[in-house]
Amino acid sequence: MVENMVQVLDYQQYVVFIGTYVNDRETIDEVERMCRRYRRVRRVEVPHAGPTCKADCLNHVVDAIFAHEAKTGTPFAGVVLHDSEDVLHPLELRFFNYLLPRKDMIQLPVASLERRLGELVAGTYMDEFAESHGKEMLVRESIAGMVPSAGVGTCFSRRALLALIDAEGNHAFNISSLTEDYDVGMRLQALGMQSIFGIFPVTYRVRRRDWRGAEREVEVRAPMAVREFFPDSFHAAYRQKSRWVLGIGLQGWHQIPRGGRSFAERYLLLHDRKGVLTSFISIVAYALALQFLLLHAGTAAGWWGAGKPALFVAGSPWMALVWINACFPVLRAGHRMYFTTRLYGGLHGLMSAPRMIIGNFVNCLAVGRAWRLYLASMLLGRKLVWDKTAHDFPSADQLGRATASARASCCARGRRWRPNISSRRSASRRRRALCSGRCWWPMAGWTRRRWRRRSPTRPTCRGRR
């Protein structure tokens, strides 16, 4: 994936920092091979055996970045987190460099690489991220200015890193949290740092099959995003999501302070944590809905003569409430289908409705496991251990297609994208920018490149400025 990143990025001066554990010889050998091949790659050794947790590895990477500053005399301006399975867009670093003078944390959308229709569990990630990063993140930023980090595609300014280190006590990331990415976004917001969910529309060329099975190439207009494969195993999916529930929904109650926050911020924190209860309610609702359908089907077929309770006779307000309540899942499914269709086409948009049911069962098992681990930690003193998810990596053919489509999106009538910057602001746009990374294969870089003014388009992004 380092090779793909170097080939894809439309950027020259950056440094890649990759964290490895002393007892992971295979990864060390591979990273050393990348260091010999690419002069901008640096290996950062975590001095103790692993795996520990992502935040622990990240903290050692950040320490190495500041040590590199002191050695070279070149201060970095920002840090970008990436995983080894990420597929990057060529314009990513240029976009970060454009926003860094004004923003302390920039989060790009995250999207799943497209899966086949039959891969139902992996398809739930396509649907959930398409809706969450196509709608919910924008709403969060608009009403409260809260932009949680997704752990990948996140750029931190140097000022933000130093503020986190001062506030946390020599470490930027909270090693006691299982979701340090969500935690760091909340802490930056509490420190008064400026965050943004960056939306920059680009065009992707993808190959898709229509309903007849014929494959063709289509152009998709979508926000620039970090793409990757998510698990397609039911077991791997609910284990990964149980860690998210543990960190956000359960640990967040006592690690993220609620005092001094606005009503909108408190509402969003409650929204993030309500799943620890509502995931069970969804399964109960499915059972009641199935019972309701069987009861009416049996009555219509004459299998039995069961009557309705008096409260639910035709024309009663309670019956009207039942039908109004039935409209909400339809509206919810409509939102999911719309945002999935925008990214992945009509067939996946239709499949997103039945995949919602699979996703709810995954979430229910994840919440059950999270509660079990959390209660064992609180009552029995068992340590919460980081649970690394085994991701699928794109094949060489898939990676080649993704790279080609991303490169094609950089071009507009044969010209490369360049930001249009006025002379009044040109000096601030020439500042150095750093792209850095996270554990398992974090990546970092910097630049002094001068922006060229001639430009067919100007980068735009939604959100607070």
pLDDT band of residue 59 (cuts 50, 70, 90) is very high
Specify if 450 maps to a domain.
no
8 and 48 fall within a common domain: yes
Question: Going by C-beta distance under 8 Å and a sequence separation of 6 or more, which residues neighbour residue 400?
Answer: none
Q: How far apart, in Å, do the first and last CA atoms of the chain sit?
A: 33
262 and 293 fall within a common domain: no
pLDDT tens digits for 209-246? 777 777 788 888 899 999 999 999 999 999 999 999 99
pLDDT band of residue 154 (cuts 50, 70, 90) is very high
295 and 198 fall within a common domain: no
Specify if 454 maps to a domain.
no
Strand 201-209 with 195-197, pairing: unpaired
* pTM score over 0.85: no
CATH of residue 69's domain is: 3.90.550.10
pLDDT on residue 435: 36
Burial of 18-51, coded b for 16+ CB within 10 Å and e otherwise, reads bbbbeebeebbebbeebbeeeebbbbbebeeebb
- 326 against 367, higher pLDDT: 367
pLDDT band of residue 405 (cuts 50, 70, 90) is low
pLDDT tens digits for 273-302? 999 999 999 999 999 888 888 887 887 787
Count structural domains, the chain. 2
282 and 213 fall within a common domain: no
Would you say residue 422 has pLDDT above 50?
no
pLDDT tens digits for 177-211? 999 999 999 999 888 899 999 999 998 888 787 77
Specify if 136 maps to a domain.
yes
> What are the Cα distances from residue 251, in Å, to 243, 256, 257, 262, 344?
10, 8, 11, 21, 34
289 and 220 fall within a common domain: no
89 and 206 fall within a common domain: yes
Which residue range is the domain that position 291 belongs to?
277-380
Specify if 455 maps to a domain.
no
Would you say residue 129 has pLDDT above 60?
yes
